[in-house]
Amino acid sequence: MDVYLVRHAIAHERNAARWPDDSLRPLTAEGKRKFRQAARGLERCLPNSARVLTSPFVRARETADILVHVAKLRKPIEAPELAPGAPTEKAFALLRARGRKAIVLVGHEPSLSVWLSVALGGDRARLDVEFKKGGAACVRFERTIAAGRATLVWMLPPRVLRRMR
């Protein structure tokens, strides 16, 4: 199984007056514009059969919506397992339950970096990973979808994805 990790695009700064519930904080106009460009590059990396799962937070859902529109993929599915702070094992269980060849997970930092670190190095691993907003990575599980069983295929910052048209 190939798992594509996508960090949500540039969102508005935290502001308790505007968004008392941080899960409602949306992308900025610049974030949407830049991610549309990055999604064109990411489209070249994704198989047509890829299924997109997204955190229920607005900024992640908006990122997923842009990606599926640009890449002509099926509507994203909300997955609470991808919300900030969710245990990494929940994302592994989600992948095992899905059983597809290619899945895109749209989420947040530091959750994505922690999950990537655990997927590559095991439960105790803490790799120092810089995951830019709108960036993406691909890991591959050959047989077992579990901690320490993934291989990093690639990781691209958004500026590289934007140039891949």
Domains and CATH numbers, the chain: 2-163 (3.40.50.1240)
Which residues of 33-101 form beta strands (DSSP E)?
A: 51-54, 77-78
Q: What's residue 74's pLDDT?
A: 96
The beta strand positions in 88-157, using DSSP E, are 102-107, 136-141, 150-156
Q: How confident is the model at residue 126 (pLDDT cuts 50, 70, 90)?
A: confident
Q: What confidence tens digit (pLDDT) does each residue in 56-93 have? A: 999 999 999 999 999 999 999 999 999 999 999 999 99
- Residue 76 near residue 52 (C-beta atoms within 8 A): yes
